[in-house]
């Protein structure tokens, strides 16, 4: 049985991935900033522990003890600085490489760094919402950091469609590489695609994206 450790396991996307992985028989550890005792809607069979993506040494230790490490931690959306999430990934990549971590690293990215047909990132198009620009910029930078990661790191980034919201998984989904695969994805569909990829890897050291069919 493969083991999965999910940072951001109580967020909209992270909780959906946690539940989907547990339902398929993975041994799942959910990492949360909250006390495990107060996790709402805890998934049966999941072990919850406390952790922060900014605690590099602890993330590396958790990565060394699992088969798959999922990083589902968004940047700040309340007007505060997004620099901490950039700093966390900047510190984590070389630390994982130095520790020779063999776990697969699965990062939840953002739609803003996906591209229009002419190669423009969505975050740089005129109609992109200003409220999400800073976070989109941060995850474009984070994508570049992972693309430059040492060859020994086995990473994948999955980005959502431009609109993502809570909801059950659709019967099928569409995948894309640099361009969005559609306009909308539910959290359930996103989680389904993520765990499909974790069970049968097809996008190693690459970013891909998903939308409801």
pLDDT at 162: 96
**pTM score above 0.85:** yes
Q: Which CATH class is domain 3-212?
A: alpha beta
Cα angle: 178, vertex 182, 187; to 5 degrees: 100
pLDDT at 41: 87
Taking only the tens of pLDDT, the chain with its 213 residues reads: 799 999 999 999 999 999 999 999 999 999 999 888 788 889 999 999 999 999 999 999 999 999 999 999 998 766 578 999 999 999 999 999 999 999 999 999 999 999 999 999 999 999 999 989 999 999 999 999 999 999 999 999 999 999 999 999 999 999 999 999 999 999 999 999 999 999 999 999 999 999 999
In whole angstroms, what is the distance from residue 46 CA to residue 28 CA? 5
pLDDT at 37: 76
pLDDT at 75: 82
Write out the DSSP string of 42-58: PPTTPEEEE--TT-HHH
pLDDT at 78: 63
């Amino acid at each position: 049985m493969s083991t999965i450790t999910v940072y951001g396991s109580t967020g909209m996307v992270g909780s959906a991935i946690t539940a989907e992985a547990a339902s398929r028989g993975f041994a799942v550890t959910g990492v949360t900033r909250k006390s495990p005792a107060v996790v709402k809607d805890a998934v049966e069979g999941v072990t919850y522990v406390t952790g922060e993506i900014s605690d590099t040494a602890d993330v590396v230790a958790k990565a060394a003890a699992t088969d798959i490490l999922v990083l589902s931690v968004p940047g700040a959306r309340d007007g505060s600085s997004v620099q901490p999430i950039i700093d966390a990934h900047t510190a984590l990549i070389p630390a994982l490489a130095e520790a020779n971590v063999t776990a697969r690293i699965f990062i939840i990215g953002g739609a803003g760094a996906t591209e229009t047909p002419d190669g423009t990132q969505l975050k740089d198009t005129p109609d992109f919402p200003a409220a999400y620009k800073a976070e989109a910029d941060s995850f474009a930078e984070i994508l570049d950091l992972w693309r430059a990661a040492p060859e020994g790191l086995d990473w994948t980034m999955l980005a959502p469609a431009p609109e993502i919201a809570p909801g059950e998984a659709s019967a099928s989904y569409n995948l894309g590489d640099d361009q969005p695969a559609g306009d909308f994805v539910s959290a359930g569909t996103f989680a389904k695609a993520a765990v499909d990829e974790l069970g049968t890897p097809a996008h190693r050291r690459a970013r891909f994206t998903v939308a409801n069919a």
